[in-house]
Structure 1
Amino acid sequence: MLLSAGRPSWEIRMLYDGECSLCMKEVNFLRARDAGRNKIDFVDIASPGYDPAANAGIGYATAMEKIHAIGADGRVITGVEVFRRLYEAVGLGWVYAVTKNDAVGRAADKLYDFWARYRTQITGREALGVILQRRAAEAAGRGDAGSLCGGEGDGAAACEVPQAEAARRS
């Protein structure tokens, strides 16, 4: 939604994975905190109607690699800064305020990057690479590519979980 001057009425647009149960918990929490004030514009990248052109050109694969947001000024934001800005928008800026410290922010981003890389597996879904391959196959009109794990070939490597994660999941 745009204001009459062409500037959006929201402060930040959150791009989220609507197929991720943990992501949806965060979205639902933030929606409740936003309480209809429209400070946050929530956009589901997994929705069939998702349009990269309307979202700073951020395609599905890019958005799945790590969290993205778009500021009202059009600036693309990624990583922990997204959470900081979202929480500031709903009056809970203190939660992520410590990440404004450069050292803490860098450490938080490194931890988040690891989480983002393996979040689909950690939350019980297939590896991110497999999800992206399936989505590309569906977009190319090949229909449901089925499970790409378990076989030989390009998809099999994407199904591997790091040793520490494999041990933790056992």
Structure 2
Amino acid sequence: MPMKETPVTVFYDGACPVCSREIAFYRGRAGAEALCWVDVSREAPAGLDRAAALARLHARLPDGRLVSGAAAFAEIWRRVPGFRRLGRLVAWGPVAPLAEAGYRAFLRLRRLWR
């Protein structure tokens, strides 16, 4: 009998109105049940500094690695049908730094929405 793969755990700030709406969108998609969603504004993140977890999106991969920002979105998208190509594109070497720069720009704007 094959072993079940550990799900990707997504750590997000549910107190952020923009973040919570976006995560709700992904959670409502088929395939999202394969991800474990943790709202760090409500519960302490296991193995992750709470302040860091609130500051940006994080994802713990099945192998235990922790990724954040655009890389975390890429991991979500790679697992949600309809977004898999986008996830592969954002994770691709030449595009990844540009995606991360866009994510950092979003973080600066996010402060205005709180």
Structure with greater Cα Rg: 1
On the 8 A contact 2:41/2:54 being kept in 1, the answer is no
The equivalences for 1:54-133 within 5 A come to 55=46, 57-91=47-81, 92-121=83-112, 123=113, 125=114
Q: So what's the TM-score if we normalise by structure 2?
A: 0.82
TM-superposed CA distance for 1:7, in Å, is 5.9
Question: How far apart, in 1, do the equivalents of 2:16 and 2:105 lie?
Answer: 16
Higher strand share: 2
Tell me the secondary structure at the aligned position of residue 30 of structure 1: helix
Q: Identity across aligned pairs (percent)? A: 26
Question: How far apart, in 1, do the equivalents of 2:20 and 2:80 lie?
Answer: 17
Taking only aligned residues, the RMSD between alpha carbons, in angstroms, comes to 2.1
Question: How far apart, in 2, do the equivalents of 1:106 and 1:67 lie?
Answer: 16
The equivalences for 1:20-31 within 5 A come to 20-31=16-27
Aligned residue pairs, count: 111
What's 2:28 paired with?
32
Q: So what's the TM-score if we normalise by structure 1?
A: 0.58
Flag structure 1 segments of 5+ consecutive residues without an equivalent. Answer: 126-170
1:25-59 Cα shifts (integer Å, max 9, x gaps): 21111111145x63111100000xx223xx2x212
